[in-house]
Amino acid sequence: MKKFAVLVAVLVVLGGGAYVAFRQGWLARLGRGAAVGPANAGQPAATPSAGGGAATPGLGTLPSSTGVPGGIGTAVPPEQLAAIPADLNLLSLDMGAHVEWSSGRDATFPHEIVFSFLDHQTVLLSAVAINPHLDRYAKQTPKDVEVWVSTQSAKDGFVQVAKGTMRQESVPQRIEFPPVQARFLKLRLLSNYGGEYTSVAEVQAFEGRAPGYTSILQRIPGMAALLVAANTKPAAPDAVIPGAAAASCGPVVPTPRTELGPQSRNVLVIANNDNDYPPLNYRPDESRGRDQVDYSVYGRVKFTRVGTAETTLPLLAQNFDTVVLSQVCDIKTSLSDQFKRGLIGWVSLGHKLIIQDSDDCGSSHIPDYSFLPYKFASSNPGARGAAGDRLLFVEENMLGNGREGDPAFLDIDNWLASKNDNHNEIGDSNTITQYDPQWCGHLFGTNVLKKNGFMEAYAHYGKGLIIYDGFDNDQSSGVAYRQLVTRELAQPVNPDGLMCSAHLGDFVITTDQRLKQQLLTPARAYQYPLTLLSNQGYKGNIKLSLAVTPPDPTMTYRFEPDTIPLTEIAQAMLTVQTTGQTPATAHALAVRGTDEANLSNALCLQLMERKTGAIQITSAIERPKKASKNLEIVLDVSGSMKLPLGKKTRWTTALDVLKDVVSAVPDDFNVGLRVYAHRQPARSKATCTDTELIVPIRKLDRGRIQSAVSRLQPRGETPLIYSILQAPEDLKGVGGGSVVVITDGEDTCKGDPVAAAAELKNSGVDVTLNIVGFTLKGKQVQEQLTTLAQSTGGQYYGAQSGQALARALWIATIDKIPYSVLDATGKEVAKGDAGAPPEELPPGDYTVVIKAADQELRENFTVATGVDTTLKVVLKGDKFVVER
């Protein structure tokens, strides 16, 4: 991370106690001053003194008041000239929002303050403005002031151009004079109103105009275009905004991700401390298990942090693609108006702005976002350490979604529950309290103020993107928070990949993300479960209606119900029916809600024309119940495990396989190990109750499991059913889970599988039982164990070899079969897990690569328009194969 250096040279001039501050460089400034308004033509003028607009006799010859400084005169296009702010403060170009000064105590007059301009360039100076200090320091107000300039050095060549008398008023007071060339500006303070100190809250210097003169801003490469953009409002987005009175939706063509451009690479962070923006402290080599944070982003991003005191307009002309405003609570005064105007123009040219303000900015310290192009304000609970009880997606997109395995996956369930390395202070998060429909909702929640609202939203502006993140940065060590802020950086600057399906309003209508864009199929019914959300305490009765673009009489629809009282959250169902006569072209569906006061909002749904084909990967080994992250392994250590199997024994084979399988179990699983028949010999009366939980069910500890089994030796009979019946008690403390039993024989202790199934069902603990019969033969016992496993939602797997055991265990413990799809060039174009919805792909030749346990399966296929292809992974013998 790079930080800009600040160069401030202070010269103390002997004689009369004069104090001269001379500065140079991009980010130099004296300090942070009081809040003041921008200088403009309407500023009150200082009282002119005699000769205030002309040179004092005997001080030397002034440069021509209309002359052009040598080497900087060029023809300037009218639109660029008009873009130069009339209130441009030349001193803020390298000194930040405010330039303030104070003398020493009882220092004698005159006081002299010398300023240079950006990079010691020569400017055409036409006025200065001085704002005396706050009212309580009225006696420190400078009284008689002279303005001097030099084109030579900070010490030599000065001539007086004006003088005036300051009033005891805390406003900028302007002293104007004919435009004059200057490299250095000197203010001579001759007296004050009786104070021990003399102080100035702000100094401003203003540029003149003359034929052929090139403004100092226009000499900065890239600044001219930025200034024009800052003064030109970009065209409105093509789509009509659903919150508007005449809103409708139009058919859209999705933008391929490959055309969205790069992620953030060169990021300017405006924050006063590194901890204000947590990603400054994230590293590309971080590894925290399998928390699905793409830390590689931080190997591609270059951060440059500057404090608000060092934030100047020329920074925007550098090669940054992203600006982050983090915890800039006093943004109204700490950043200059000209910087904020320039920032919005910069965004419109195709850049990204990220705003974060939660925690440091409290109810008495609320940022002023009036500079943003769209109406915006946020609530600020401040630092209360409060957990939140609601957070949901209103739109799932590239910034974050609930699809586990997707690069933009955001684990909001565990965030709310403070599980899996997450910390919930969502209650401290800010919600958006003022908005217009140009803002698009992403994440919706409830903070400690008990108001429902959006905690993250974004807006398209020109060719750029603005993202607001209201989440408390105290959660910076949590997985979900890291996922979120990393995706904000990974989101391409091009906003076209964000569909803006939920525009902010007094209420919002949404539905499942996967339903918002579907392929149109004639003679099909489409069902949309609708959710209506009250924003910031809204209450009303919402009437639902639907408009189809283009109009199509072959389509019918119904809402159930069509009028909904909304106080917080409400549900409805929309059914849309196409017929055989419905053309298979794109249709847009505008679901509009309108209340009694004619407030409205809409949800845009798309039925797309199909120009693709589909590939779906399925699996014949899918289980009725989803695998739990709480896992108990029950291992047979009976005497028969000593029997040979190839060049090994059943026991040593099982140990090898168990080690490999445990190494593949995800880090966030809770895993325990129960064994049986390991202490008592077969002839002992205690052998049929010889079972022990040797590793309790807790966060996975692979080393402990391996160490525990390595000390065991097969000994006794097979109390299989008795051991299985201990599982509910073992899993009770973690709320239930999955059990995988490895046995090489049937129960030899008179256990009853039928009675065991009933006992497990009535235990009150959710137990899913998967049984692996290792070298187990006998049709009757296999059928009994299959019935027992299936009664709990599990399966029975047979395995006659070590390889088959490995695959059976892999299936029983980890039910995902990941795949990736490669195009003809070998580039990955899709990925997922077997059983996921079909992937739509352009026509062409592809290869799917499937990872099934220790096998890699490759299958070529061809996609044709309108044709669906299904590939199924099945287990034949001890090998996985792909069937069509």
- Asked whether the predicted pLDDT for residue 247 surpasses 50, the reply is no
For residues 494-510, give the mean pLDDT: 83
Q: In CATH terms, is domain 264-497 a member of 3.40.50.880? A: yes
- Please enumerate in sequence order all residues whose Cβ is within 8 A of that of 734, keeping only pairs 6 or more positions apart, or say none: 630, 670, 697
Whether 231 shows a pLDDT value over 50: the answer reads yes
Give 658's pLDDT tier (boundaries 50, 70, 90).
confident
CA-to-CA distance for 310 and 823, rounded, in angstroms?
49
One-letter amino acid at 742 equals I
**pLDDT above 80 (res 845):** yes
- Residue 54 scores a pLDDT above 60: no
In the prediction, which pLDDT does 258 show?
45
**Every domain of the chain and the residues it spans:** 2-225, 264-497, 507-610, 630-813, 817-883
Query: Would the pLDDT of 511 be above 70?
Result: yes
Asked if 260 and 497 count as a contact pair (C-beta separation under 8 A), the reply is yes
CB 732 within 8 A of CB 765: yes
Query: What pLDDT sits at residue 305?
Result: 94
Spatial neighbors of 96 by CB under 8 A, at least 6 apart, are 27, 29, 32, 308, 309, 310, 311, 312, 336
CATH number for the domain whose boundaries are 630-813: 3.40.50.410
Kindly tell me the sign of the dihedral angle through the C-alpha atoms of 215, 220, 221, 224: negative
Residues 6+ apart with CB under 8 A from 636: 654, 675, 676, 677, 718, 720, 741, 742, 743, 744, 745, 774
CA–CA dist 389, 451 (Å, integer) = 12
pLDDT tens digit sequence for 846-870: 999 998 877 899 999 999 988 889 9
Report the pLDDT value the prediction gives residue 25, as an integer from 0 to 100.
23
Tokens of 442: 């992403």
CB atoms within 10 A of CB 678: 21
Predicted confidence at residue 220, as pLDDT, reads 79
In this prediction, residue 118 carries a pLDDT of 81
Residue 310 near residue 96, CB atoms below 8 Å: yes
Rounded Cα distance, 468 and 454, in Å: 10
Helices 337-348/223-230 angle, 10° precision? 100
pLDDT at site 530: 96
- CATH number given to 507-610: 2.60.40.2310
Q: How confident is the model at residue 624 (pLDDT cuts 50, 70, 90)?
A: low
Strand-strand pairing, 818-822 and 844-852: antiparallel
Average pLDDT, the chain: 82
- Candidate from 136-145, 314-323, 809-818 with smallest mean pLDDT: 809-818
**373: preceding bond cis by omega (within 30 degrees):** no
CB 88 within 8 A of CB 312: no
Q: How far is CA 605 from the centre of its chain?
A: 25
- Please give the average per-residue pLDDT across 697-706, as a whole number: 92
* Residues contacting 126, CB < 8 A, separation 6+: 176, 177, 178, 179, 180, 206, 207, 208, 209
User: What is the enclosing helix (H) or strand (E) of 464?
Assistant: strand 464-469
Confidence of residue 450 (pLDDT cuts 50, 70, 90): confident
CATH number of this structure's domain 2-225, picked from the four choices 4.10.320.10, 1.20.910.10, 3.20.20.70, 2.60.120.260: 2.60.120.260
**Would 264-497 and 630-813 be classified into the same CATH topology?**
yes
Lowest mean pLDDT among 333-342, 385-394, 609-618, 779-788: 385-394
User: What is residue 756's predicted lDDT score, i.e. its pLDDT?
Assistant: 94
Q: For the ranges 88-97, 633-642, 836-845, 873-882, which has the lowest average pLDDT?
A: 88-97
Could you tell me which residue, 136 or 289, shows the higher pLDDT? 136
Please state the rounded mean pLDDT for residues 469-486. Answer: 90
pLDDT classification of 125: cutoffs 50, 70, 90: very high
**Which two structure tokens, joined as six digits, stand for 135?**
């009212």
What is the C-alpha separation between 593 and 598, in angstroms, rounded?
A: 9
The pTM (predicted TM-score) of the whole model is: 0.65
Question: With 70 as the cut, is the pLDDT of residue 322 above it?
Answer: yes
Most confidently modeled range among 41-45, 208-212, 247-251: 208-212
